[in-house]
Amino acid sequence: MDMDGDWSLPRPNSLFKVNRRTAGPSLSKSSSIASTFSSLAAPVVAEAVQRAKELSTKSDAEGFHQLRVAFRKLRALYWAYSPYLGDESTAHATEEFKRLAAVAGGTRDWDIAGDLLKAAQQSGVSIEPLMAAAREKRAQAVVHSQTMIKSDDVEAFLNDALLRAQTTLLSRCDGLPIRAFAEKRVRLAQRALQKRSRRAARSEDTHEEDLHDVRKAGKKLRYLLEFFQPVIKGGHGRTIKELTSVQNKLGQFNDIAASEALIRNASFNEVPPEVVQESLQWLIKEKSQRMQAASRQVRAISN
């Protein structure tokens, strides 16, 4: 995760209008591809902008997490509409969403690592100096995130990106019905998840990268089902519930794998090396257990 470089965001001449009073997207089977993009994107943008504004003065862990989730949802939405948005425009926008999510995630990553270190301490591991250092790292991450997530810039960037996308869609697919298009994109996401799940399940020794790929594919599918559920055939509530359950297991594994890497790669000048090593040993043992649980879930959905 590269969070060292600063970057600028464009300021649009005209803004994408977000209806902040709308509780959720209004979709029907007769909606067009272009109009549904606006309906789906607007609430996510509104939440991202509100979270960014709140986090300019607060350091709430859940706020950083939900901001990162909003950017992930926008990446999934842009992927869904990429056949009409074009590869270049989709890649440019999603790269910026990914960058912003990483900035928001810096604080969240240290929150997760801190919670895991507390669990290690409760199990008898003596790592108080490392816990204190992790709290300091978290405080530094908050300052960094707040500095880079300037609410006015985030709002300007999102408005500009979505205005461009909406203009493109109106010129290319205005009037085309959403249902068949949405079902096709969902099927592609389902196939990608199935392919990655089977690849991970076939491997005699589960690899972290394979589980990470399954997790990303599962998130994309879940977000698309949540977006398009009002217009696609069949009830998908059960599928969303099952995906959420799988994601929870994969998320638990990802949390500990990411925390191990975070602590392993960080500099702790005031912490004795043996304390860091003791924490890593606990994390590796816990990671192994969580990997087994995640692998069982992946094998279940691969069938």
CATH of the domain at 260: 1.40.20.10
* pLDDT tens digit sequence for 106-131: 898 999 999 999 999 998 888 999 99
Amino acid in the structure at residue 95: E
18 or 55, which is more confident? Answer: 55
Note whether residue 14 is domain-resident: no
In this model, does residue 6 exceed pLDDT 60? no
Range 55-83 burial, b when 16+ CB lie within 10 A, else e = beeebebebbbbbbbbbbbbbbbbbbbbe
C-alpha span between 275 and 172 (Å, rounded) = 59
**What percent of the chain has pLDDT above 90?**
63
pLDDT digits (tens, 9 = 90+) for 154-182: 999 999 999 999 999 999 998 899 999 99
User: pLDDT tens for residues 269-303?
Assistant: 889 999 999 999 999 999 999 999 898 888 888 87
- As a whole number, the mean pLDDT across the chain is 87
**How many Cβ atoms sit within 10 Å of the Cβ of residue 144?**
15
- Count the domains in the chain: 1
Domain assignment present for 163: yes
Average pLDDT on 188-210 reads 87
Range of the domain at 93: 33-302
Q: Is the pLDDT of residue 256 over 90?
A: yes
> Exposed, middle or buried: residue 260 (CB in 10 Å: 0-12, 13-18, 19+)?
buried
Residue 16 confidence class, pLDDT cut points 50, 70, 90: very low
pTM above 0.75, yes or no: yes
Quick one: how far is CA 274 from the chain centroid? 34
Residue 203 DSSP SS3: coil
Residue 32's DSSP bridge partners are 177
Confidence of residue 29 (pLDDT cuts 50, 70, 90): confident
Q: What is the pLDDT of residue 32?
A: 93
pLDDT tens column, 48-106: 999 999 988 888 888 999 999 999 999 999 999 999 999 999 999 999 999 999 988 88
Q: Is residue 278 part of a domain?
A: yes
Dihedral angle sign, alpha carbons of residues 185, 191, 193, 195: negative
Reported confidence tier of residue 2, pLDDT bands at 50, 70, 90: very low
Tell me whether residue 15 is in a domain: no
Please check whether residue 13 lies inside any domain of the structure.
no
Give a yes or no: residue 9 inside a domain.
no
27 is a domain residue: no
Cα–Cα distance measured from residue 67 to residue 27, given in angstroms and rounded to the nearest whole number: 24
Return the closest-CA partner of residue 27 out of 90, 77, 86.
77
